[in-house]
Each structure stands twice: as C-alpha cells, then as structure tokens.
Structure 1
Amino acid sequence: MELELGLQGKRVLVTAGTKGVGKAVVGLLGKLGATVLTTARERPSEMSAEFFVAADLTTAEGCDAVAKAVMTQLGGVDIIVHVLGGSSAPGGGFAALGEREWLQELNLNLLPAVRLDRALLPGMLAQGAGVIIHVTSIQRELPLPEATTAYAAAKAALSTYSKSLSKEVSPKGVRVVRVAPGWVETEASVALAERLAAQAGTDYEGGKKIIMDSLGGIPLGRPSKPIEVANLIAFLASPRAATITGTEYVIDGGTIPTV
C-alpha cells in the first residue's frame, strides 16, 4: 500500500522537467494526482504540450514567460520545485573561469529560482499556503576545485538565499526547503561515466568508479537514482512534511564525510 501524500489537485511548477531528476519529479507528482506544469528550452516529442512551456530560464525574459504561463495555465501555484542546474564550465581551476563562465553558472544555478520566486511568491502569500523546494548540491560543501568552483559557489548562494527566504515567508504559510543531491545517475552523468571509461580503457562500471573516487567515495557504493530524489521531493512537498521548513536534506549515499 502506497503512502498517501495528499498531493491530489495541487498546482505544481517543476523547472528542467524533461530529463533526469526533473523528469522523475514531473512523472511522480503527476501520478500522485497533482497538475504539473514544466519547462525547458525544448519540449520532447513524448511530453504533452498542454502543461509545458518552452523557455530559457537563464534569462529574465524566460522566467517572466514561465511565470505568466503558470497564471494562465494553472491559475496560480501551490508548489514550486526548482530543479534547474548544472555546469558547463571548463576544467583547469580558478584561472579557467572568466567573466563569461561565472555569469553562466549564476544565471543557470541561482537567478532562475530568485526570479521565479519573486514573480510567484506573492500569489502563495495571498493564499497563505505554498511550498518551494530548491534543489541545491552537496558540492556547496564539497566543491571540486579542478572543475566545479563556480557551480559550487552558485549552489551555495542558492542555499543561503533559500534559508533566508524561509525565515521571511514561513510565518506567512509558505514552506521553503532544500534538497541537496550528490551524484545522481542521470542521462548526463551516464554519458560522463561512459566518456571517462573510454578514456581510461575500461567499462561503464569502471567509469562510475572514477567518478565515485573523485568524490572521495560513496559509502553506499552507487549513485542515487532520479526517482529516489523525486521520492524525497514529493514527501517534502506534501502535507506530511507540514512542519519542515528552512532546512536542507542531503541525498548522496553518504558522500559527505563529515557530520
């Protein structure tokens, strides 16, 4: 028997909902009875156009278009799940990160959440209820200086912003929570493991081990699955988590080595 989460009829916005964790969240919340609008730059052919808006959330104009679509297509929002994030910065440490690379990381990993919250929070506050979930990363605590300094810094900024926002709006009925995944076996991470495996002359499992070793090891012995992260998000978004706000939940298989 499945745990009843009370998400039937909830109006939900999920960013980056066509792949990886975002796609898993969209599918799970829809299965649980929520009405889910999602967004990405392009709509996959298998995804319904009815509750999808194509937009580039790294721009203010893209965020504005999504906020307007929420009001037009959902009539408001009860839950926002900010999944959008990632990094395209080159390796090479701090010297490889110029103005362009820093702005790209901030525009992808921090500002979309800030802009969408600013546009949609007034409606949540007016109804006296809502949940905002910011997907951060364990790299805010465990950055990889060779390649992810800017990404880690942007996620740290997102986490701090999320905490501050929770202190402001939780007394008014809106919960704000963070979920910090470690390595998740998404399409992108599978491609990375395969590429590393090819370079090292090993197989996919060998490529996975290279990634796990770079993180200092994963005690559980494997990365998380997208649906496992989605399960956590669904619970935190639900009335079952009614007194949870302002905190961060790590889902990393034990990667972070400290208390």
Structure 2
Amino acid sequence: MFFNLFRRKKVVRGMISDAAAIREHLDWTQDHRIPLRIAGEEGTELCTAFLCAINHSQREGLLRIRVMNRLAADPGLTEGRELLVRYNSARGILYEFQTRLLKKGETGEGEYRLSYPLIVESCQDIKMARYKNSADEPIQVDVDKERGVVIDIGLKGLRFTSNKVFKTGTLLQNLQVELPRYGRVEGKAVVKYTQPASDYPLWRYLCGVEFTELKPKDHRRLNRYVNRMVQVTRV
C-alpha cells in the first residue's frame, strides 16, 4: 500500500441540534435498514436497525428505531436506560447519538429514541506543502553510511534515492539532509516504503520515510526551506 507523505488526515468534530441539518446529513427513510453500533456496559455491539418513526418538527426531534440485538434482550437493560449509538455513513462521516430505550421485547427486539443533539465526526484530507527537487540544486541525504538524493520533501517526510534496501518499518536513527543555503537538518525517521527506482537510472531504489523526531530549530529550518522553494517554483 502506497503511503502518501505529503497529506495528513484532520478529524473534525461538531454538534448538530437543528432539524434542517439533521435532514441534510441523514438520508434515512421509513423502514430504512441502518447498520449501527450500540455501546453499553457489556461493550459495543454491531446490529441492524429499522427506522420506524421520524419527527423533525421541533428542536428536540426524534428518530425512533427498532433493533434486534443481544443488548435489548439483556435483563439488566431496563426501559429508560441511556446508551450511545454510533453510525458510519457511506460518506465516511461518524454520527454519535445519545439514545434512550423506550421499550423492549422478549425476543431481543428493542425500540430506541435517538434525540438531538448529535455529534458529527468527519475526516478531512489536508494537502501539505511539498517541494519536488530539481537536478539543478540537488539535496543530499545521508543515512546509515548511505548517501542519496532527495526527490521531494515536505514537513512530514521525504523520498530519496538509494542503492541500499531499507525495510519497511525500519527506524532510521540518524537521518541527515543538506538543504542548499539553509544548512543541515538532522533527525529520526521511519521507512514507509521502498520500491525500484525505475525513473532514476543511477540509483537502484526509491525510499519514502516519515519524520518521527526533529529538533525545533531543524523543523523551523525545514519549514522555511520548503515554503520558500514552493513559492519560487510557483512563479
């Protein structure tokens, strides 16, 4: 699996307490089959729910669901008990509801009331600054007595050419990068992948590493260099 060194994931959490926003986020319809996770004292259980009532008419609106699950049949789960329900949508958004058990059947069927507000958690893909090195001003890299040339570099990691195989997961204790006009950056990194350097005939391998430790001064130096070079290449 290819590891993208120049993007990061940002988790965003928010709260929805407006009926219109509920309708916009949840496209549930009557008798809609919904895969849910219900969290109780005994743990979290995956189950399928059927939406049996919708009421968006007020701020404290409700979504009533009917669930066949082991938790509903638990004698310790009494009517009125509050539980946490999680729902992952097809768009990759996580919804969390505080729910109350309205009534339960003897066959493991429970009817729950999902009330507002609900918490929404989504994951955004953030593109990070990345400088693709040119042959006019090569960036030298030294690691474990092996020297190579940086192909591209960002604040999260870099890719460099090498004639040595670095196994995925290897921790590089002393990675040194010579930034032209900005000086040396030293730190630790972990190998994310190694592949044949088919586009670089003078080298055998292309290695991607993610920084795990950089001194604050080196991080600032790298930040200045990358952002400066990105601006120059855009002109």
Which interval holds the TM-score relative to the shorter structure?
under 0.3
**Quick check: which one's strand share is greater?**
2
Higher CA-based Rg: 2
Normalising by structure 2, we get a TM-score of 0.21
**Quick check: which one's helix share is greater?**
1
Task: With a CA cutoff of 8 Å and minimum separation of 6, indicate the structure with the bigger relative contact order.
Answer: 1
Normalising by structure 1, we get a TM-score of 0.20
